[in-house]
């Protein structure tokens, strides 16, 4: 970890470091499972995205999901071709829909009937827009409500009750869209095989309904949400899906998955500096230079990250509440930290490669952190730290 401390001194803290060897291992693990079952892989860009990372994934044959003009612009600057891009989003703007209509993105996952009508209206028979429909299978997995994206309470997708309206829109589209198939996503951090299987079978049943209505399914996308290696889940899901498709009398479609966290999380760690240590009548509190603004996951849904002490690591420890420096409680977790812990000491939070940098905010107008990619002794800057001028760049002088 001395190398990590050296990088922190060079680039400042907070600092997010991606270990490329770990990243490659995650990509190969997922790629191996995908090849075994003939599955298409598209990375969920919302987990983490920058120009260098987008190019890194594309060079390894992985598609990318984008959900905004900003995410698309990132992939455009990385020279990702349209056929490698899928557009997501539960409330697409006209400009976002135009990305697919005008051919800048390969296909759109349409999230509702209103969006489907808008997409049809903006499209033409001369250049049909490739689409999938995002369904809500009704399967609510056991995960935090903030990261659950299916079930009766979810805002995402087309429910079974709304399928007749979607089919009617497709029938009257007059060749303006090219219907590819269906998609559904359970949520994030789902370690529940039974939910995945129920979700997958519900999608096959939906595929049979669409086929009966005259719209056969070419592509069926299971979404993501894998905690780690998807192979054990796929080993159960794919045979069950094949059997259900056989029972329904439909051809088995091409299957896709959309891992985000499973690719990026383990490769990232965040280096932080302790800025203050305090004691109350009940506990010791250490305040670091990170927190809510650079990693909102603990505040949003109680996420915790493994921690390594980079200085004084061999000393006796005591339980310590680690907090960020935001003007909120922003508790990061209770850890056993050295008794001699003091301002200036360095720590590392692990598994911060997903949903940290991508969710960083401008709260308190703290500068968002730099991102560095490392392989061995080589370090490449992927994202520089935000400057003070950039934090106020949008302000208009009165």
> Cα torsion for 159, 164, 166, 168, to the nearest 10°?
180
327 assigned to active site: yes
Catalytic pick among 50, 248, 323, 327: 327
**What is the Cα–Cα distance from 352 to 267, expressed in whole angstroms?**
8
Give Cβ neighbours of residue 283 (< 8 Å, ≥ 6 apart): 319, 320, 321, 334
The single residue listed with the structure tokens 């808008």 is 118
> In terms of DSSP bridges, do strands 346-350 and 307-309 run parallel, antiparallel, or are they unpaired?
antiparallel
**What is the Cα–Cα distance from 75 to 82, expressed in whole angstroms?**
9
Per-residue tokens: 223: 């979404």
The CA-atom distances, in angstroms, between 6 and each of 15, 271, 339, 346 are 11, 11, 23, 11
List the Cα angle 89/130/113 in 5-degree steps: 50
Nearest to 339 by CA among 312, 317, 308, 307: 317
φ, ψ (nearest 5 deg) of residue 96: -70, -45
**What is the Cα–Cα distance from 108 to 56, expressed in whole angstroms?**
23
Please list, residue by residue across 372-389, b when 16 or more beta carbons sit within 10 angstroms of its beta carbon and e when fewer do.
bbbeeeebeebbebbeee
φ, ψ (nearest 5 deg) of residue 78: -90, 0
List the Cα angle 182/184/190 in 5-degree steps: 155
**What is the Cα–Cα distance from 335 to 286, expressed in whole angstroms?**
10
Q: Where are the alpha helices (DSSP H) in 188-318?
A: 193-212, 231-248, 261-264, 297-301
Give Cβ neighbours of residue 235 (< 8 Å, ≥ 6 apart): none
| CB atoms closer than 10 angstroms to residue 305 | 21
| CB atoms closer than 10 angstroms to residue 247 | 11
Catalytic residues: 327
């Amino acid at each position: 970890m001395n190398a990590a401390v050296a990088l922190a001194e060079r680039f400042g803290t907070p600092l997010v470091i991606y270990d490329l060897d770990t990243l490659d291992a995650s990509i190969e693990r997922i790629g191996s499972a995908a090849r075994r079952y003939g599955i298409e892989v598209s990375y969920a860009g919302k987990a983490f995205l920058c120009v260098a990372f987008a190019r890194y994934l594309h060079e390894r044959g992985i598609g990318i999901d984008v959900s905004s003009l900003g995410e698309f612009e990132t992939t455009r600057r990385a020279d990702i071709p349209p056929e490698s891009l899928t557009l997501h989003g539960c409330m697409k703007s006209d400009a976002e829909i135009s990305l697919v209509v005008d051919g800048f993105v390969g296909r759109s996952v349409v999230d509702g009937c209103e969006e489907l009508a808008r997409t049809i209206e903006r499209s033409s028979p001369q250049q049909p827009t490739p689409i999938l429909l995002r369904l809500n299978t009704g399967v609510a997995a056991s995960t935090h409500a903030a990261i659950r994206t299916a079930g009766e309470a979810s805002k995402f997708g087309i429910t079974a009750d709304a399928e007749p309206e979607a089919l009617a829109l497709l029938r009257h589209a007059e060749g303006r869209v090219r219907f590819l198939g269906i998609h559904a996503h359970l949520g994030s951090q789902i370690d529940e095989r039974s939910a995945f299987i129920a979700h997958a079978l519900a999608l096959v049943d939906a595929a049979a309904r669409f086929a009966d209505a005259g719209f056969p399914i070419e592509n069926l996308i299971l979404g993501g949400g894998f905690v780690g290696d998807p192979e054990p889940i796929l080993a159960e899901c794919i045979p069950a899906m094949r059997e259900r498709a056989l029972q329904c009398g439909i051809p088995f479609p091409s299957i896709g998955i959309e891992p985000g966290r499973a690719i990026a999380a383990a490769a990232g760690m965040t280096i932080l500096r302790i800025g203050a240590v305090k004691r109350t009548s009940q506990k010791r509190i250490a305040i670091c230079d990170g927190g809510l603004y650079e990693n909102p996951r603990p505040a949003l849904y109680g996420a915790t990250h493994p921690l390594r002490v980079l200085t004084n690591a061999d000393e006796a420890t005591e339980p310590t509440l680690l907090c960020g420096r935001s003007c909120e409680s922003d508790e990061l977790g209770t850890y056993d930290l050295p008794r001699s812990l003091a301002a200036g000491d360095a720590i590392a939070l692990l598994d911060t490669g997903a949903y940290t940098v991508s969710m960083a905010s401008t709260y308190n107008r703290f500068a968002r952190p730099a991102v560095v990619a490392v392989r061995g002794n080589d370090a490449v800057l992927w994202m520089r730290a935000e400057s003070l001028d950039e934090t106020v760049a949008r302000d208009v002088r009165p």
